[in-house]
Structure 1
Amino acid sequence: NAGKSTLANALVGKPQSITSDMPGTTRDWTMQLTDVNGIPVNLIDTAGRRESPDHLERDSLARADEKITHADLVILIVEANGCEKEQIAEQSADLPAQCEPLVVVNKCDLLPISSRSAGEFLYISALTGHNLDQLRTTIAHRLGLANPDPQAPLIFTQRQYNLLQRAAKNSSTETIVSILKKLIGQKG
């Protein structure tokens, strides 16, 4: 139980995901909106990866893999106690192909301070908030949001993208005005 849902709740700033000390609490994925450097980011909490004969857990992992495949960034959260590089490498290799996860070691508050070395991994505590600002900064860098250009165009949703694509392909001024009104929430 690495504390994925606890971390998701901490990043969002409110309890959206169910948390428990029991492994396997998260069965289906949840999506929550959070803020990274002033830019809205969808955070998806999925079931953890573990071997199980239970068909529900296998289905949960299949759904998690689908979300991972389409993610812009995957955060692999491992528990601080018993976290070895070899185990992390195995867990990373178990992820869908072409996934280069950001490895985060959670529950570092349970380790002696001398063991919380930065090294290749980011040590955090979702419970106490230790290093969550550093995690947000790292997420921003990995997503290319570290130093956003305030003059650069920015599209937040697939709906906005689709409407802008339609407007770009259409030469009718009426249609373009109608699409722009939809983008800003006006009727017509």
Structure 2
Amino acid sequence: DLAQAEAIADLIDSGSAKAARSAMRSLQGEFSNKVNFLVDTLINLRLHIEAALDFPEEEIDFLSDNRITQKFENLKAEISQVFEKARQGSLLREGLNLVIVGQPNAGKSSLLNRLAGRDAAIVTHIPGTTRDVLKEYIQIDGMPLHILDTAGLRDSEDIVEQEGIKRTWNEIHQADLIALLIDDNAGFNQQDQLILDQLPSRLPVLRIHNKIDISQHAAGKSESEIYLSAKTGEGFTELEIELKKIIGYQEDAEGLIIARRRHLDALETASEEITAAENQLIKNQAGELVAEHLRVAQDALSTITGKFTADDLLGEIFSSFCIGK
């Protein structure tokens, strides 16, 4: 099916052993089987609801059956489990964009170099050395990260630096996670707060205090902030742990399935529509609206594998009930 066909490309493009294993599971049909199970469960719900609507003379009243409500709850829980496996698989496939921001000379390029394990960025004591966005691809325990080092955020009269700052903000708005780097020797100040206030509220922000080799602050995590030295490497184990925690990454890749953004969107749509259907059932006993929400949910799930037609549902209804005989 379509999901398996996509898994072939994902297997070829996989950037790690974990991603390759997850792609192979999808290719072998694990993801499709999970989706097909969800679709079959949805069909079962729909046929009960639509039978009650289409054949009222048969006195099939499933709308007031409490067992139907429990089926809704079970289905939502099952979709949630599949979504979490798919979300983890999506991380393996696509990685995450981590943008490092902060004032000039906070040590952003040093942090990038330490994470990359090489001198990818020029490091000097002169503020404003980084003018363009630098990108590095790394893995942390199999978790792919696209790390972006950016120009220091400040008011500048330099036209080239202004362009670099403009590009920084463009990258910020496309980020999945922000690392706000703070010079611990100077301390968190008004300019750091100004940068923090301007960051998009939807983005998780990890505050990282750098230069503890100068400030003499203990390395590690304090509350929700990380203290480290990009120069010596102190505190980087805690940084990696915190990054995986924020992202929700699980090191055990067993059972993960490679997924694409469209798969996650389809699962989210299905979950939302099922919740809407349940609300219509409980609050309004509106069978027609319940059936429509379930239809949209089923269509969303079917886009993952590329299967299902309206005739399939009709066949299920007549094969499950002795109607018209």
| Offset, 1:41 | 1.2
Q: Is the counterpart of residue 45 in structure 1 residue 152 in structure 2?
A: no
Q: Is the counterpart of residue 106 in structure 1 residue 220 in structure 2?
A: no
| Offset, 1:149 | 3.6
Q: Deviations over 1:117-137 (max 9, x none)?
A: 824421100000010111111
Q: Supply the distance in 2 between the matched residues of 1:61 and 1:169 (Cα, whole angstroms).
A: 44
Match of 1:141?
Answer: 245
Runs of 4+ in 1 over 6 A off after TM superposition: 114-117
CA shift in 2, pair 1:24/1:168, >3 Å: farther
1:29-178 equivalence runs, <5 A: 29-84=133-188, 86-113=190-217, 118-154=222-258, 168-169=305-306
SS at match of 1:21: coil
Match of 1:5?
Answer: 109
Amino acid at match of 2:177: L
Q: Supply the distance in 1 between the matched residues of 2:201 and 2:134 (Cα, whole angstroms).
A: 22
Q: Supply the distance in 2 between the matched residues of 1:85 and 1:22 (Cα, whole angstroms).
A: 20
Instruction: Output the TM-score relative to the length of structure 2.
Output: 0.45
Match of 2:271?
Answer: none
Specify the structure having the higher radius of gyration (Cα). Answer: 2
Do the aligned partners of 1:3 and 1:126 also contact (CA within 8 Å) in 2?
A: yes
Choose which of 121, 132, 145 in structure 2 pairs with 1:28. Answer: 132
Do the aligned partners of 2:109 and 2:123 also contact (CA within 8 Å) in 1?
A: yes
With CA pairs under 8 Å and 6+ residues apart, which has the higher RCO, 1 or 2? 2
Structure 2: runs of 5 or more not aligned: 1-104, 262-302, 308-325
Do the aligned partners of 1:36 and 1:145 also contact (CA within 8 Å) in 2?
A: no
Q: Supply the distance in 2 between the matched residues of 1:116 and 1:145 (Cα, whole angstroms).
A: 20
Structure 1: runs of 5 or more not aligned: 159-165, 171-188
Do the aligned partners of 2:134 and 2:148 also contact (CA within 8 Å) in 1?
A: yes
Amino acid at match of 1:2: A
SS at match of 1:74: strand
Hey, which of these two has a bigger chunk of helix by percent? Answer: 2
Amino acid at match of 1:77: L
| Same amino acid, percent of matched pairs | 29
Instruction: Tell which deviates more after alignment, 127-136 or 54-63.
Output: 54-63
RMSD of aligned residue pairs (Cα, Å)? 2.8
Do the aligned partners of 1:37 and 1:145 also contact (CA within 8 Å) in 2?
A: no
